[in-house]
Chain A
Amino acid sequence: MENKDTKTSLFKLSRRDFVRLGAIGTSGLLLGVPIACSGEKHEMLLGKADAILAPNLFVSLSGTGEVTIFAHRSEMGTGIRTSLPLIIADEMEADWNKVKLVQAQGDAKYGDQNTDGSYSVRMFYQPMRIAGATIKTLLLQAAAEEWMVDVSECKAENHEVIHSSGKKFGFGYLAERASKLPIPEAANLMLKSPEDFKFITKKTSIYDLEDIVTGKAVYGLDVNIPEAKIAVIKRNPEAGAGIIDFDSKDALNIEGVSKIYQMEAGGFPLEFDKPVGGIVIIAKNTWTAIKARDAVKVNWKKGVNSNYSTNDFLAEMSQTAQKKGKAKRTQGNINEALKNADKIVKSDYLVPHFAHSPMETPCAVAHYKSDGSCEVWGPVQSPQWVRGAIAGALELPEEKVTVNVTLIGSAFGRKSKPDFMVEAALISKEINGPVKLLWTREDDIQHDFYHSICAQHLEIGIDQSNKVNSWLHRSIFPPIGGTTSVSEKEASIGELCMGVLDMPYEIENISCETNEAKTQIRIGWVRSVANINHGFAIGSILDEVAITRGVDPIENALELLGSDRNIDFDSLVDGFSNYNEKVEEFPCNTSRLRKVIETVKEKSNWGKTMPKGQGMGFAAHRSFLSYVACVVEVEVNDKKEIKIPMVHYVVDCGTAVNPDRIKAQFEGGASFGASLALKSEITVKNGAVEQENFNNYLVARITDAPYNTEVHIIESDEKPTGVGEPPIPPFIPALCNAIFQATGQRIRQLPIKLV
């Protein structure tokens, strides 16, 4: 899921990587590239004609002291557009009020831009620090030369360089002189020590805050291209299936409709970056296009998945889960151990498909121009993929495709796929002019890349001395890979390393298994991916184990964690996938997991007496290299209505770059988890999704979401790790365990239905 063949190491600038800032002319300024790239010429200006110091692609400084920072990752609500630039600003000692952000276009020169998988800060923390330290070092050097003093007598502070005598220069004044200096080697840079951080680990509000509350922020369809037509597409209810024929006579009679034509459907399996296709309706405004779409009559073809019905499929997968599967992690002898166990806790867990349903539906603006170039604007998580996909679809060289990234009205993984952008580009070429493509909410809910439906079977053995001695976990679900390839028939190791194979508990006999399950609809990654299912099952069964053993659930988890250690997963699992990081660099450290569990126990006042109808539940889960423990308090009334008055989270995500945004991710994560646990479900019948809009694809509203969410961040100097996705996996089982305490009902299927 992560395209990371680019490396983030800084490399020495070679002559041909330098380009001049055209507007500056004679200043002799060179612009380098801090992140590994292809070495071709980068002619893009820094966006500021008056920038005179630009030692790398990410930051420049003008003579008036204005700093421009390129935000190269996509902003979908995590605050990343703010959090990476503030790292540069901190290292360079800039005044945040003098920083202007420019959103970078999709271009391989920036290195990885795929904003997905909760790794932006993890991957770019160090490069951003180096980018900032580079420019600071140049400014210090310039000041020292001007004063003819040793550079060690100078320091940078709040947009100035200050000499030990007290004299100072503003950054802007030094820019010109600094631009003539050689760029320092990354290895020679001094990075700040954590106690000197001004922004990192402190709170910084998001850059776009005021634009958002005044309605000025620009999302996908807010891009104003005069003369743009509007397009909507009528799609086969069965993803990928084609069209027999269609009748557009009535629709064409509607005033303002200019064209109706067929865009080939992609078949199945399909490509993430190919259009879904259907009947394209072009009109002068959205309302007309929507009305005309209703008036088009289509005879749809049946496709290869027209027998797909989730009810039957879930039953079939449950059957599969009862049988011995293909073991992907084995320790000890599970059969023997279970045979000899004193007690076995056995349970099955079912999870439906979910839709991302981002608040802003997929949408795109495209302009194919007469010179054979194509410019697009849209809410995309992966602009380079969009660029390549459009170049491929239109048969253009990549240089002819410009991808502008707007703010993203949330995504949760949906907008990492370029399909909707490619559709818009193809339409623009077809009509020879600019177009805005809207996916209506119905399109979004019926043609998503869904979270994978899943059945799990677990058996946990307890021996005569009341110790847990065996762990059998079977997880059956159609793989994401099956969306694009028939040869992907079972969950991949990467997907199983989201909870199943990286299970951290110290148990003697372990078997983690999977088996075949056919992908029959578009499946993709939804916020925390397979961790949703596995966190739910593991967090839930541990509660059952604790109760069976007569041990407090938190004590149970702490005991099972065993000795403090880094787990050597590489030797336990063939092809272990550690969120694309080396296990040595980001080990699974049980003492860090222990710490978040112990802390949540204390912070939540765990074990306090709850009134009748209320309960507290606990779960912990490591995902995206972060450690999270969660306690949920729940209230269930006589009508079986569920309220969540309080959620306690403790997270260890290494260095907490922007703590308020981390807290926001957890508050929002609890709400997202509440949607999945209590409300949402995609069902498919005869190949077609049965839900269509928020009337039957339900999501958490203010009345369903937790009333309060307390987030405690463990202080740490470790490398930063993910925060966008890790809130989800422990929340759902903690909620279910709380419901058990409140009502005595065990939840083994999502969404929760109380009886």
Chain B
Amino acid sequence: MAIFQLDINNQKMEVDCAPDMPLLWCLRDELVMTGTKYGCGKALCGACTVHVDGEPVRSCSLPISSIENKKITTIEGVGMKTLHPVQKAWIEADVPQCGFCQSGQIMSAIALLNKTPNPTDDEIDAAMSGNICRCGTYVRIRKAIKSVAKNNL
């Protein structure tokens, strides 16, 4: 066990946990931030996607010891005051079915659009293919991403 200083959603936080604990379980169990989901634990499904210094990463496979002094953003940290444009687009297109994968989908989409405001289909595929949606909301995910892109033009 060790104390780690974390910067999550622009807040300084301190946790006392095993150094190899993945960020996912630190968020969920220690900090009671449950917006980030468990889907596979092996970086295969994207349900646990968060941003580390703006990059989308799978928090289930990211030991806490590797992220001190890095800026973490979770689904709770986007659109805190008003909804993020990607969240708005998700609502506009009625993307979610069960919704369980959507925190991860939205985090991946935000990261994509930050870097590539106008992604092609191939770029969307590349950025989003790590995120499984068992309900199959893919058509609307693509549509929502494109609608944000259009507003970026």
Contact = CB atoms under 8 A, between A and B. Distances in A.
For the complex of A and B, the 5 pairs showing the least CB-CB separation, nearest first, are A215-B35, A671-B136, A409-B100, A77-B98, A215-B75
Given A224-B34, A285-B21, A360 B139 contact: no
Interface stretch (A513-521, A609-617, A701-709): A701-709
A670 B18 CA distance: 43
A8 interface: no
Given A213-B90, A287-B25, A700 B136 contact: yes
Contact of A669 (B45, B100, B130, B136): B136
Given A205-B91, A359-B39, A215 B98 contact: no
Contact of B98 (A214, A224, A407, A700): A407
Interface in A407-424: 407-412
Given A287-B22, A702-B129, A694 B40 contact: yes
Interface in B44-71: 44-45, 47
Contacts of B118: none
Interface string A668-699: 11111010000000000000000001110001
Nearest to A283: B29
A215 B97 contact: no
Contacts of A206: 94, 96
Contacts of B91: 205, 209-210, 213
Contacts of A706: 138-139
Given A215-B103, A357-B134, A664-B97, A703 B42 contact: no
Contact of B83 (A75, A208, A213, A664): A213
Contacts of B17: 285, 287
Contacts of B90: 213
Interface string A217-255: 111011010000010000000000000000000000001
A396 interface: no
10 contacts: A208-B99, A209-B91, A210-B83, A215-B76, A285-B29, A358-B98, A441-B45, A668-B135, A668-B136, A671-B136
Given A213-B91, A407-B99, A702 B34 contact: no
B13 to A, nearest CB: 16
Interface of B: 1, 17-18, 20-22, 25, 28-30, 32, 34-42, 44-45, 47, 74-76, 79, 83, 87, 90-91, 94-103, 106, 124-125, 128-142
Contacts, number: 184
- Which of B34, B38, B79, B136 counts the most chain A CB atoms within 10 A? B136
Contacts of A409: 37, 98-101
B35 A701 contact: no
Nearest to A442: B41
A120 to B, nearest CB: 15
Name which of B75, B79, B99, B138 has the most chain A CB atoms within 10 A of its CB.
B99
A692 B18 CA distance: 26
Contacts of A15: none
A209 B87 CA distance: 10
**Interface bin, chain A:** 35 or more
Contacts of A695: 42, 44
Contacts of A75: 98
A708 B139 contact: yes
Nearest to A204: B94
A79 B137 CA distance: 13
A707 to B, nearest CB: 7
Nearest to B88: A213
A138 interface: no
Contacts of A212: 96, 99, 102
Contacts of A287: 17-18, 20-22, 25, 29
Nearest to B95: A213
B32 A224 contact: yes
Contacts of B124: 702
A357 B47 CA distance: 14
B30 A670 contact: no
Contacts of B39: 359-361, 441
B106 A219 contact: no
B35 A214 contact: yes
Interface of A: 75-79, 205-206, 208-210, 212-219, 221-222, 224, 230, 255-256, 285-288, 290, 357-361, 407-412, 438, 440-441, 660, 664-665, 667-672, 674, 693-695, 699-703, 705-709
A359 B141 contact: no
A410 B18 contact: no
Given A77-B97, A221-B34, A702-B124, A410 B25 contact: no
Q: Kindly name the residue among B34, B74, B141 whose own CB sees the greatest number of chain A CB atoms within 10 A.
A: B34
Nearest to A226: B32
B139 A667 contact: yes
A360 B37 contact: yes
A422 to B, nearest CB: 21
B76 A709 contact: no
Contacts of A215: 34-36, 74-76, 103
B44 A222 contact: no
Nearest to A285: B29
B124 to A, nearest CB: 7
Contacts of B132: 359, 694, 699, 701
Contacts of A438: 38
Given A286-B29, A287-B18, A214 B83 contact: yes
Nearest to B143: A708
Given A215-B103, A707-B139, A693 B28 contact: no
A527 to B, nearest CB: 10
A639 B130 CA distance: 22
B149 to A, nearest CB: 16
A674 B42 CA distance: 23
Contact of A359 (B42, B87, B98): B98
A359 B129 contact: no
A164 to B, nearest CB: 39
A208 B100 CA distance: 12
Contact of B135 (A77, A218, A440): A77
Nearest to B47: A359
B34 A222 contact: yes
A214 B83 CA distance: 8
Contacts of A412: 134
Contacts of A694: 40, 42, 44-45, 132
B20 to A, nearest CB: 8
Contacts of B35: 214-216
A410 B131 contact: no
Given A214-B35, A667-B136, A219 B29 contact: no
Nearest to B144: A213
Given A79-B97, A224-B34, A694-B132, A288 B18 contact: yes
